[in-house]
Amino acid sequence: MATQAKTLTNSSVVGEQAAQSGPLYIVGQVVKYGLLILMTLILLGPFVLAFFGSFKTVNEVLASPPTLWPQNWQPENYSRVWNAQQASGDDFITQFFKAIGLGTSLFPRWLFNSVFLAAIHVVLQLFLCSLAAYAFARLDFKGKNLVFTLMLATLMIPGVALLMPRYFIINQINLVNTYWAVILPSAVGAGGIFLLTQFFRSIPKDLEEAAAIDGAGLFTTYSRVILPLARPALATLAVLEFQGSWNDFQNPLIFLNTPDYFPLTVGLSALKDNYTSQVNLILAASMFNTIPAILIFAFFSRYFVEGSTYAGVKG
Amino acid sequence: MKKTNRYLSMLSLLLVVAFGLMACDSNSTAATTPAANTAVAAAATATSAPAMAVATATTGAATDAKATATTAPVAPAAATDVPPAEVSDAACANAGTVDVSKVKKIAIESGATLRFSGWGNTSEQQVTREQLCRFKQAYPTIKVIYEPIPDNYESKLKTQISSGTEADVFYVNPPLTDLLVSSKKLLKLNDYMSEANMKKSDFFESLINIFSRGDDVYGLPKDFGSIIVFYNQDIVAKATGAKAPPADGNWTWDDYSAFAKSLVSGTGESKVFGTMHQPDYARWLPFALANGAKVLSADGKKSAINSAEAKAALDWYYGLYKDGTAGESKLVSAGWPGEAFGKQKAGFVIEGGWMIPFLKDSANGFNVKWSAAPLPKSPKGTYGDLLFTNAYSARADSKFPKAAAALVTFLSGPVNQEAVLITGFAVPTLKGYESNAYFTDHAAEKALYATASFGTVDYYGPATGVVQKTMSDAMNALYLGKVDTAGALKQMEDGINAALADI
Amino acid sequence: MAVKSLPPQRQGMKRKTRENVAGWLFLTPYLISLIVFTFGAIAYAVYISFTDLKLFGEANYVGFGTYGRVLDPAAPLNKFWKALGNTVIFSVVVVFFQTWLAILFAVVLNSKIRGQRFFRIAWYLPSVTASVVISLIFFWMYKQQGVINYALGAIINNTLGLVGVHFEPVAWLDNTTTALPAIMTMNIFTTIPTFMVMFLAGLQDIPTDVYEAAKIDGASARRMFWSITLPLLRPVIFLVTVLGTIGTLQVFDQIYVMTNEGGPLDSTLTVAYLIWFEAFKRNNLARSAAISFILFVVIFVFFLVQRRFLDRNATD
């Protein structure tokens, strides 16, 4: 496998002139950073507002003109959200949480459910989608284009139309109200395959040809050549699928009955009944939902920041 | 390389964990309750109320559509912080004890396990759990698994029913009842009721008739909401010549207009309106109904809204808006009249029981001193109101029909309803509580309870949603100046007839 | 391996068969999932679209009757065409902006700037939040005296106000003209970061020596962008456009949360919402299924058009 490797670090040079000094350059920098900050304000603005809003009373959240800083801090909004619901079942996860002192609030359980479902989902997606993507991107087999188009076509069926038929199928195999009901149908999906296929297609073929000459089989090429090279793509897929699973609401709502199994999105929706009258609680709940996701993204983002390294064949 | 092995081992580890967790399936015990302190300014009169104008006024603060979408009662989290509870029957202590001797029990199957579903936010869920605790006192051998559906209730219930996996007992609203009775999915309750010493006539006619077909009862009303007047006592006190409306409801439309006018103050941004008259059918219709108007013909096949009685009501209702006495919530940058009232931008509003917890919960930050009174009588001297109600029903093919009926009859029975009344969560659907001690100090609940005897349920057959929207759209057109009141009523008539033709 | 010992011609054929088999083998997990969870559901939905099935009722075959009823503009209370118009406008505008802005953001964030990592994480925040949550936040912000009007008022009145332009607070979600654009803006806002992330990954795969060679040849930054970056990003552009189109043509969550059954007088009614509405509120499963398949055809047509222009791998 070891061809001569030349490690290149990537960084786009678009927008980067050879370093000039002088007033034009400084103005350019100011404008550039100014725009960056403006965009950050625009993109982050709603969340900052939501964050402060989650500490306000309903009256203040709805005040006009709107205020930024809460006049009366109400951290009890968060404890209300935390204690919103108590466990109804008694399985060993509930007992575990009780044992470590988190009481019977369902909130940590919901958080755990979300993390668990998302983690499994991501791992399955990474594995199974990359298999299929490799086939589409690199292998030539009869009916490839047809299957690819069919696969994309399945994305085009509005999900909402398949809700009842899918429930029927899940019920037939007796998986309703289990974690599997949420995991299995989405374990491998057209979206993920499509994404990885496009990325795989842009990986230069020379390495695989080198590997083939060295006698590598297809699965080995897949696992030892393509996968490592596709790190940015895999990281992208991981992040997106994590986000998708983390924010999934409709599926767990329909397929799960016991509140103990709900992920965070469904559990917190019980606060949503009067969301115009208890906006502050909803915002607090939203913070709980958003912050873990952003932390996970921050953790994985280093795959985007570091340039991808790939071994090139030195001609 | 090592990476593949890493992926593989990670995957297998996760799958093993997953299997482990799923193997230990939930053995949800009976509905247990948190040690909730719901006595404190508890949740609202829980019904599919046309609650707040969730989205905006142009389509007529159509709260309703959203409310019926989830058919969720509008009960914000009342209670104070909930301390973590033991998952055990000891937590039922807060439910109070039930005088079991007062409950006429019916014969049930042995070893019955029931699943029970309903909508409701967290505070309603707490109240429900307490009711289930009381049930357990009366019927200790029945195990009840509570499966609340926090959102999209209708979607989920319909999906479950189409696969036969719905709960044994669940909440229904009038449209659901229509659908499920005609497809024979609901248990007929008459025999069980007589066994439990309950009669159809124990309930208010308008409420129980919606869930019955002739004399056959398919659902027992759980609670109901309606529209009454909530007024700001401080604004009333400060206004010259303003007299608080009488607690017995003996006032007229002219009194109402005068009252509203007397509460108007200020101009421009700081204007305080007398009241809020939203272009929302659910706020105008009570007055029209009181005046004798009807939405549909007696056979339910044609519109009857375009009548002199309705026009009189609409002229009067819109008139107060036109001359600036009554505003609408968006004029004072509020999302719905309740919010406007909370911000003290309206002297009084016409809303339902959901206002009670909204105002009472000090954590919401509204400091309004308020009281409530019934709506005035019409120029004809008659009363009317719009009722929003839901019921408990049992599935026809339940494995434990007797136990299911026991649950339904208990929850809607006198013992439980009185217990619920005292928590302030809802008013009973049974007759005979007019002189209950609870009403002495609770003007709003008293006024609400009284409406059941003369109110009409907000239901118009399978096209209800469209009918409601048509009426609100027409009112919007009126408020935007596109039509006059006669034109608005004609628009309603045409729209309703089209809706009825489209079934 | 055995392959090497065969004569070259046989090697080729054996490889072809191996590839054939391998191709299908690699697809197996996906195919299983597809067959079990998707095909059956789709087949059933197609079937009921040819009937008049209502919820819990009986299914009677009616041929294209249901489709006809859905497509008939004269049918009473038929909102299909309005919904379709809203949906197409939504999709075309949103996809255009989200794609180009995502490329722009990705290019900016990929260049040498201080705090690159911070910006990348911060800019991703809108995407990482549940659409329901974002809808709630924006719903609150779009109120007549909410934050957006407040900010716009502050900016406009203090700048253009000097020349007499005054900004009146707009009830964004209440006006038939502004409701859909307001939701579109929110959608663009939330999806740009997701696609930006995809473009970032795509940009990583472009080797620097290509740019270095171009610079030596004297190419300007702009030229490099149009002639190098964009063409090399083509597969990702195709990906983003297709996913974006598929997503926007199915927009449902925001409408459900932020509007009342399709917004002021149906101005925000989308086809996906109508599908849900017909099934779960009007209890008309057949119509819901028929609308679903009409939407599918629309999406598929969009896809074919995009593939024709954007996918250099299309062989048929």
pTM of structure: 0.82
CA distance B486 to chain A (A): 34
Backbone angles phi, psi at C35, to 5 degrees: -65, -45
The three-class DSSP label of residue A52 is: helix
Choice between C86 and A80, residue whose per-residue pLDDT is larger = C86
Q: What's the pLDDT at A315?
A: 27
Mean pLDDT along residues C69-88 = 88
What's the Cα-to-Cα distance from C246 to each of A106, A152, A191, B125, C249, rounded to whole Å? 36, 10, 10, 38, 5
pLDDT tens-digit map of B22-32: 433 332 222 22
Burial category of C217 from C-beta neighbours within 10 Å (exposed 0-12, middle 13-18, buried 19 and up): exposed
Amino acid at C154: A
Burial category of C301 from C-beta neighbours within 10 Å (exposed 0-12, middle 13-18, buried 19 and up): exposed
Q: What's the pLDDT at B489?
A: 96
State the CATH number of the domain containing residue C269: 1.10.3720.10
pLDDT band at A8 (very low <50, low <70, confident <90, very high): very low
pLDDT tens-digit map of A145-188: 888 988 888 888 888 888 888 888 888 888 888 899 999 888 88
Q: What's the pLDDT at A20?
A: 55
pLDDT tens-digit map of C296-309: 999 999 988 988 88
CA distance B197 to B194: 5
Q: Are C290 and A158 in contact (CB under 8 A)?
A: no
Residues of chain C in contact with residue B62, where contact means CB-CB under 8 angstroms, are 260-261
pLDDT over 80 (residue B137): yes
Domain-located, residue C216: yes
Please give the residue of chain C at the shortest CA–CA distance from B336.
Answer: C143
* Domain total in chain C: 1
Percent of chain C with pLDDT over 70: 93
Chains touching A (at least 3 CB pairs under 8 A) are B, C
Mean pLDDT along residues B180-185 = 93
pLDDT over 80 (residue C156): yes
Domain-located, residue C68: no
What's the Cα-to-Cα distance from A98 to each of A94, B83, B495, rounded to whole Å? 6, 13, 57
Percent of chain B with pLDDT over 70: 81
Mean pLDDT along residues B384-402 = 95
Domain range summary for chain A, segments of one domain joined by +: 2-53, 106-311
Cβ of B55 within 8 Å of Cβ of C276? The answer is no
- Give the C window 237-256 contacts with A, CB below 8 Å: 238-239, 242-243, 246, 249-250, 252
* Range in B225-239, B414-428, B476-490, C222-236 with the lowest mean pLDDT: C222-236
Tokens 């599935």 — which residue? B395
CA distance B54 to C110: 42
- Which value does ipTM take for this structure? 0.80
pLDDT tens-digit map of C119-130: 878 888 787 777
Amino acid at A210: A
Beta bridge partners of B223: B390
Helices marked H in A83-189 = 92-99, 106-138, 144-155, 163-172, 179-183
Domain-located, residue C4: no
pLDDT over 60 (residue B50): no
pLDDT band at C13 (very low <50, low <70, confident <90, very high): low
* Range in A271-280, B265-274, B388-397, C134-143 with the lowest mean pLDDT: A271-280
Among residues B435, B356, B346, the alpha carbon closest in space to that of B47 is found at: B356
Chains touching B (at least 3 CB pairs under 8 A) are A, C
Please give the residue of chain C at the shortest CA–CA distance from B330.
Answer: C144
A297–B contact, CB cutoff 8 A: no
CA distance B289 to B378: 9
DSSP for B283-332, written as a single string:
HHHHHHHHTT--SB-TTSSSB--SSHHHHHHHHHHHHHHHTTSEE-GGGG
Domain-located, residue C59: no
Q: What's the pLDDT at B45?
A: 23
Domain-located, residue C16: no
pLDDT over 70 (residue A25): yes
Cβ of C56 within 8 Å of Cβ of B57? The answer is no
Instruction: Write down the mean pLDDT value for chain C.
Output: 84
Q: What's the pLDDT at B340?
A: 92
Mean pLDDT along residues C95-122 = 85
- Superfamily covering domain A106-311: MetI-like (1.10.3720.10)
| Distance, CA of A42 to chain centre | 22
Q: Are A222 and A204 in contact (CB under 8 A)?
A: no
Domain-located, residue C69: no
pLDDT over 70 (residue B444): yes
Among residues B52, B448, B453, the alpha carbon closest in space to that of B228 is found at: B448
A272–B contact, CB cutoff 8 A: yes
- Give the B window 458-487 contacts with C, CB below 8 Å: 462, 465-466, 469, 473, 476
Mean pLDDT along residues B140-158 = 90
Q: Please name the helix (run of DSSP H) or strand (run of DSSP E) that holds residue B390, with its range, or none.
A: strand B385-394
Burial category of A153 from C-beta neighbours within 10 Å (exposed 0-12, middle 13-18, buried 19 and up): middle
C5–A contact, CB cutoff 8 A: no
Residues of chain A in contact with residue C119, where contact means CB-CB under 8 angstroms, are 36, 40
CA distance A310 to A69: 49
Beta bridge partners of B212: B217
Mean pLDDT along residues C203-222 = 82
Q: What's the pLDDT at C14?
A: 72
Domain-located, residue C56: no
What domain range includes position C139?
Answer: 79-315
Burial category of B5 from C-beta neighbours within 10 Å (exposed 0-12, middle 13-18, buried 19 and up): exposed
As a 3-state breakdown, chain C gives helix, strand, coil percent values, each rounded to 5, of 75, 0, 25
Domain-located, residue C288: yes
Percent of chain B with pLDDT over 90: 59
